[in-house]
Amino acid sequence: LFSLATRIILDITKTESKDFDHAAIIQKLLAEVGDEDASKKEDFDAIKEALSNIEDEVKKISSLYDRARQQEENGDLEGAIKDYSKALKLSPDSQYILNSRGVAMYKNGDARGAIKDYTTALGIDPGDPLILMNRARAKDEIGDSRGAINDVDKVLEISPYDPLAYLYRGIFKGKLKDFRSAVIDFNKALEIDPDNAVSYFFRGITKKELQDFKGACEDWKKAAELGDEDASKLMEEHCQ
């Protein structure tokens, strides 16, 4: 039943184009340069030209990034990956673009390629909880559930009240048959977010594995009340 976890392994990335919206700041710098002492005009002309070039570069990156996001939303993952790659040639140290390309690769079935991008991004910013979560999901996809748990542990060190982190860690522990520890994580997820149908769903599965059939049915009933159709099916199969 833990194979059903794949149905919630979705894109939780929320990187926005504003990460590259530096044009307004650069324009302000250009205006300030123009107000300086005329005796330094040559120096400031050189600075203005350099900043103008930077502005053009930022616009190119932003345009490629926005187009890639649109392609991704439209289901053209290959096109999105190509444009993310073009943006990375212009800005190779952007953890935002690396993360987004990693997500597109993951969706396109290339979990190992995604892990490579996430790892490079974490080399730039080791404390980004979103990228750590994305890498955990990709590691689990290739069967490295223990590595996935290690990444989620790091997320919870940074964000100790993240219900999704507890939910995912519980799922990963369930795949390793560490059911009692998984229940503890689902309990924590529901303590933080008591209306999360998915947490009830997977806690129910875990309770079933622990032979707590009554508890499993109670959790599936709650999940079904919150709109989870899979929980309704499990109730029909196991809770009559």
- Residues 62-74: tens digit of each pLDDT: 899 999 999 999 9
| 193 burial via Cβ count (<10 Å: 0-12, 13-18, 19+) | middle
- Residues 80-132: tens digit of each pLDDT: 999 999 999 988 888 999 999 999 999 999 999 999 999 999 999 999 999 99
What is the model's pLDDT at position 57?
78
How sure is the predictor about 38, in pLDDT bands with cuts at 50, 70 and 90? Answer: very low
**What whole-number percentage of the chain has pLDDT above 70?**
77
Rounded CA gap, 173 and 148, in Å? Answer: 10
Residue 167: closest CA among 193, 199, 144: 199
Rounded CA gap, 63 and 49, in Å? Answer: 21
Residue 98: closest CA among 135, 70, 127: 135
Q: Tokens 């290739």 appear where?
A: 142
Task: State the pTM of this model.
Answer: 0.80
Handedness of CA 30, 84, 67, 155 (dihedral sign): negative
Pull the structure tokens for residue 124. 């730039």
Among 4-8, 22-26, 109-113, the range of highest mean pLDDT: 109-113
